């Protein structure tokens, strides 16, 4: 029985693969360029693309469980539906899908709305599935270290409602545990949704304060300039994506990403350890070269 991991070379997918290998799973990783894929021994790497039907048919041969991760791209929804239809055609019955928290509430944000559409498709197709709904990846903040240290500001417009930031390593481990639980279950398991959150719900001011404590100097939170955020993002990503990120940040300001009662306790029990904290993450980033 084989578990296929899509998005396997990204920050979450790579962690999923490594955690599955640690638990003795038979893992197949989908990669556009297998030559560039560096995975633990025993992982089968197959060439494939989520818009290449023939490559996906080949990748799904003999697969029993799918981890579906779609990058934020213009055709994300199409990629997901093609993958799900081909998985069903191949006889795959079990799916763990990486969605996003509040996908059903951030309805004007393109990549949130797309993920909610995929969730509905998974339900209607009758897959034995777990839908993982992560909050903001604290790993996103690895990219702002130079801004924080060089300009003395925390630049992400995350507002005052709070985001329950989670480490991608925790996401990967939880996903692996769910994949194995479904893969090894004696009978089909009911569909489940799990909010993936960190142990703390952080505002912009709190995030800046943590950077201040770790660096030993004052880091300010300059405010909630979503237009400026979009302008900066457009320097290194397509305009549609920058606008998508702006729309998301505007929902951060009005709603935040707030855990439901019991979310943290559920994840802590699932992992058998505490969730990684933002303070620990910042300390790692600050200590890195």
pLDDT for residue 52 is more than 90: yes
Q: Of 34-48, 70-84, 106-120, 123-137, which range is least confident?
A: 34-48
What is the overall mean pLDDT for the chain?
96
Q: Tell me the mean pLDDT in the region 194-222.
A: 98
pLDDT in the model for residue 235:
95
Residue among 88, 102, 26 at smallest CA distance from 60: 88
pLDDT in the model for residue 38:
86
Residue among 131, 204, 206 at smallest CA distance from 174: 131
Rounded CA gap, 64 and 118, in Å? 20
- What are the residue ranges spanned by the domains of the chain? 2-137+166-197+259-276
pLDDT in the model for residue 288:
86
Q: Tell me the mean pLDDT in the region 129-154.
A: 96
The proportion of the chain whose per-residue pLDDT surpasses 70, expressed as a percent, equals 100
Residue among 223, 133, 129 at smallest CA distance from 179: 129
pLDDT for residue 90 is more than 80: yes
Rounded CA gap, 84 and 63, in Å? 13
Split at pLDDT 50, 70, 90, the class of 36 is: confident
CB under 8 Å, gap of 24 or more: what pairs does 99-107 form?
A: 99/131, 99/132, 99/133, 99/134, 100/133, 100/134, 101/133, 101/134, 101/135, 101/164, 101/195, 101/196, 101/197, 101/257, 102/133, 102/251, 102/255, 102/257, 103/133, 105/251, 105/255, 106/248, 106/251, 106/255
Q: Tell me the mean pLDDT in the region 87-104.
A: 97
pLDDT in the model for residue 266:
98
Contacts of 204 (CB under 8 A, 6+ apart): 154, 156, 157, 158, 159, 160, 221, 223, 224
CATH numeric code, 2-137+166-197+259-276: 3.40.50.720
pLDDT in the model for residue 35:
82
Per-residue pLDDT reduced to its tens digit, 216-260: 999 999 999 999 999 999 999 999 999 999 999 999 999 999 999
Per-residue pLDDT reduced to its tens digit, 153-195: 999 999 999 999 999 999 999 999 999 999 999 999 999 999 9
Split at pLDDT 50, 70, 90, the class of 289 is: low
Q: Tell me the mean pLDDT in the region 56-82.
A: 96
pLDDT in the model for residue 34:
87
pLDDT in the model for residue 37:
86
Rounded CA gap, 4 and 74, in Å? 23
């Amino acid at each position: 029985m084989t578990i296929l991991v899509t998005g396997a070379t990204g920050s979450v997918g790579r962690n999923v693969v490594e955690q599955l290998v640690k638990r003795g799973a038979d893992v197949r990783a989908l990669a556009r360029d297998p030559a560039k894929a560096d995975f633990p021994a025993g992982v089968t790497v197959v060439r494939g693309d989520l818009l290449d039907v023939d490559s996906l048919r080949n990748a799904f041969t003999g697969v029993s469980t799918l981890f579906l991760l779609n990058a934020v791209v213009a055709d994300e929804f199409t990629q997901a539906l093609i993958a799900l239809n081909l998985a069903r055609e191949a006889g795959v019955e079990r799916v763990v899908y990486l969605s996003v928290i509040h996908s059903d509430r951030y309805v004007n944000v393109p990549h949130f709305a797309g993920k909610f559409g995929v969730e509905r498709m998974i339900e209607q197709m009758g897959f034995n599935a777990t839908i993982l709904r992560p909050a903001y990846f604290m790993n996103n903040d690895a990219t702002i270290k130079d801004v924080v240290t060089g300009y003395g500001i925390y630049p992400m417009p995350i507002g005052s409602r709070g985001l329950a930031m989670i480490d991608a390593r925790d996401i990967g481990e939880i996903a692996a545990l769910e994949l194995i639980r479904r893969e090894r279950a004696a009978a089909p398991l009911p569909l489940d949704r799990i909010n993936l959150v960190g142990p703390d719900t952080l505002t912009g001011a709190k995030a800046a304060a943590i950077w201040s404590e770790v660096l030993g100097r004052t880091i300010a939170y300059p405010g909630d300039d979503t237009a400026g955020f979009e302008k900066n993002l457009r320097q290194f990503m397509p305009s549609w994506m920058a606008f998508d990120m702006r729309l998301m940040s505007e929902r951060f300001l009005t709603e935040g990403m707030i855990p439901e009662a019991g979310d943290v306790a559920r994840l802590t029990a699932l992992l058998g350890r505490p969730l990684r904290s933002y303070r620990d993450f910042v300390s790692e980033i600050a200590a890195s070269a």
